[in-house]
Amino acid sequence: MTALWTSGDIATATRGAASVDFAVSGVAFDSREVGPGDLFVALKGEATDGHRFLDQAFAQGAAGAIVSDDCGYPHVRVADSFAALEDLARASRARTEARIIGVTGSVGKTSAKEALYACLDRIWRGQAHRSVLSYNNHTGVPLSLSRMPAATRAAVLEMGMNHAGELAHLTTLVRPHVAIVTAIAPAHTEFFRDESAIADAKGEIFAGLEPGGTAIVPYDSPHRDRLIAAAQPHAARTVTFGTDKAADVRAVEAMRLPTGGSFVTARIGEKELSFTLSQPGAHWVSNALAVLAAVDAVGGDLGLAGLALAELGGLAGRGARFTATLPGGGEALVIDEAYNANPASMRATLAVLGEEAGRHVAVLGEMRELGHASADYHAGLAEPMLAARVEAAVLVGEAMRPLAERLEGRIAIVHCADASAALAAAREMIAPGDAVLVKGSNGVGLARVIAGLKGA
């Protein structure tokens, strides 16, 4: 198997010095994720120092390390290991001829990234690459780039931010041929004056477009024109997607299927494609349109992309479904949306819950980083919950108090402090035949509720 990096490659890219010759097949900066043959990048952070975990990394099979301190293992010594990780990312981007797609947005970016990767991998088997998990920040993006094999044909990189200026830097590393903004919605509003400022920060992704690049923008967004204006100085072509007839890529029709997904007929410029979308909800139709726009922009086979969209499995924490066996007997459907939440994604997934059969139960964790408007955003979930015919809810976290007060006397509610209490309350509340949505900001820890229900 061809090495991902040799010690010589790493030393050249990072302007470091190799202690011995070695080759690696992967890259990691979390010692818990190191596997046989990996390069371990010992990062120094505010809370910890990766050099403390060198023994663990090599015990787990690391073949080499990037270090800035003394090291008795095979290594490349550099002045700054974080700067070296970025340098390795730049070297990876420079050596590839892959078509690169960057994805950002307030909601839907991880789902769109995974769907797009499934399409690219269906088109170019074994030669597609993507960011893993939600590695989309100042460390995750260079890590994802440094993991990209030189022979990659197409890659999709997710980019996130919670402050202005972050994407402006990340996009210079990724240098996408295609840049997607999935949607603009209230998220991280603690750090932005309004949604227009969020749109401006997301629009930074277009500044990194390669010459001749394509910008993909949500037509139905109230910030469409703002995003188009951000793209115009950098994009040779701007493509819009949405449900409006004026969108460049649009859904001519989208019919819900008994399986929960949709049958979609999409027009992509002058082309038309009918396909089955396995994932439920109008937000997934929007994701699929953005994905098809990107596949078309890189010259991919739309028919194969349609097949990939039909076969998408649920993503853990982002719509995966399972049947929970209840302690007293019987089963309930659980929709796992536990990874993250903001007002827009809460509304979208509550609408999906509302389409399910049976009694509807919601286990909702507080939405974080919403700033001074947090109380209004939380109380505002009452309307979509009632529209989804939610009959019982477990609300988790102090920020959920305004919603609990708004719903008092209208549905059965348990308001609790943390995920452990939420799991206990959910076990008491859920009955056979229920459809249960579990969703909240990642820091609330509702993954523990999911794990508990899986083991119930």
Does 331 share its domain with 443? Answer: yes
The whole-number pLDDT of residue 384 equals: 97
Return the CATH number at 334: 3.90.190.20
The whole-number pLDDT of residue 162 equals: 78
Does 133 share its domain with 274? Answer: yes
Q: Is 106 annotated as a binding residue?
A: yes
Give average pLDDT by consecutive 10-residue segment, the chain, 456 residues: 92 98 97 96 92 97 97 97 98 98 93 96 97 86 97 96 90 98 79 87 97 97 97 98 96 90 96 95 94 98 97 85 92 94 92 94 95 93 97 97 96 97 96 97 95 86
Q: Is 81 annotated as a binding residue?
A: no
Residues listed for the chain: 456
440 assigned to some structural domain: yes
The whole-number pLDDT of residue 1 equals: 59
Does 71 share its domain with 106? Answer: no
What is the rounded distance in angstroms from the CA atom of residue 446 to the CA atom of residue 449? 5
Q: Is 26 annotated as a binding residue?
A: no
Return the CATH number at 31: 3.40.1390.10
The whole-number pLDDT of residue 133 equals: 75
Q: Is 108 annotated as a binding residue?
A: yes
**Count of domains forming the chain:** 3
CB 29 within 8 A of CB 143: yes
Does 340 share its domain with 242? Answer: no
332 assigned to some structural domain: yes
Does 126 share its domain with 223? Answer: yes
Does 112 share its domain with 225? Answer: yes
Q: Is 109 annotated as a binding residue?
A: yes
The whole-number pLDDT of residue 456 equals: 53
User: Identity (one letter) of the amino acid at 348?
Assistant: A
Residue for token pair 């939420």: 422
167 assigned to some structural domain: yes
Does 328 share its domain with 280? Answer: no
Does 150 share its domain with 271? Answer: yes
The whole-number pLDDT of residue 291 equals: 98
The whole-number pLDDT of residue 46 equals: 82
Give the domain-ending residue among 34, 54, 85.
85
The whole-number pLDDT of residue 419 equals: 96
∠ CA 385-389-391, rounded to 5°: 90
Question: Residue by residue, what is the 3-state secondary structure of 372-420?
Answer: HHHHHHHHCCHHHHHHCCEEEEEEECHHHHHHHHHHCCCCEEEEECCHH
What is the rounded distance in angstroms from the CA atom of residue 114 to the CA atom of residue 109? 9
The whole-number pLDDT of residue 188 equals: 59
- Give the torsion sign (CA, 42, 43, 44, 50): negative
Q: Is 110 annotated as a binding residue?
A: yes
Domain of 180 in residue numbering reads as: 96-310
The whole-number pLDDT of residue 190 equals: 66
